[in-house]
Amino acid sequence: MEISDAEIQQAEQRMHQRLASTPHAVAARYDRRVSRIMVTLSSGLELAFSPHLVEGLADARPADLATIEITPAGLGLHWPTLDADLYLPALLDGVFGSPRWMAGLLGRRGGLARTPVKASAARENGRKGGRPRKLATA
């Protein structure tokens, strides 16, 4: 299947129209003072988020977070020293990584939750002798 020059030009026009109507990154930096990635969008909105929330950035050193490249369309961020990428539309939807990464992140938060029900269950477990010990298998 061959694509004509006219079809390519139409696709490029659609891309330019979409980019003009969709916020995209115009600047990105890592702010060491507050440990946040700062992204300025074409709409004037500035986003700040913790790198610990993002797959591929969670364990990164500040020096590795300092170099951020914006993709040509402005829809992605790339950290060359970490070989990590972040798609901005996904970020705006609250997606900071793969489904497995997100599930782990939510699981950790749930495990840290302190609710009266959880405290009551822990007390009841304590009365029964606590959590059963795992037996070592040979």
Contacts of 43 (CB under 8 A, 6+ apart): 23
On whether residue 8 sits in a domain, the answer given is: no
3 in a structural domain: no
Contact 28, 48 (CB under 8 A): no
Residue reference for tokens 């490029």? 12
Domain assignment present for residue 138? The answer is: no
Residues 86 and 112 in one domain: no
Supply the pLDDT for residue 54: 87
Residue 51 within a domain: yes
Q: Residue 118 falls within a domain, yes or no? A: yes
**How confident is the prediction along the chain (138 residues), in pLDDT tens digits per residue?**
788 999 999 999 988 887 777 888 999 999 999 999 999 999 898 999 999 888 889 889 999 999 999 999 898 999 999 999 998 888 876 666 666 766 666 665 555 557 788 778 878 888 888 777 777 776
Same domain, 85 and 105: no
Same domain, 102 and 85: no
Q: What is the number of structural domains in the chain?
A: 2
pTM for the whole thing? 0.61
Q: How confident is the model at residue 108, as a pLDDT?
A: 59
13 occurs within a structural domain:
no
Per the structure, the complete domain to which residue 73 belongs is given by 24-96
CA distance 89 to 33: 26
**CATH number of the domain residue 75 falls in:** 3.30.2020.40
Residue 18 within any structural domain of the chain: no
Q: Indicate whether 113 and 52 sit together in one domain.
A: no
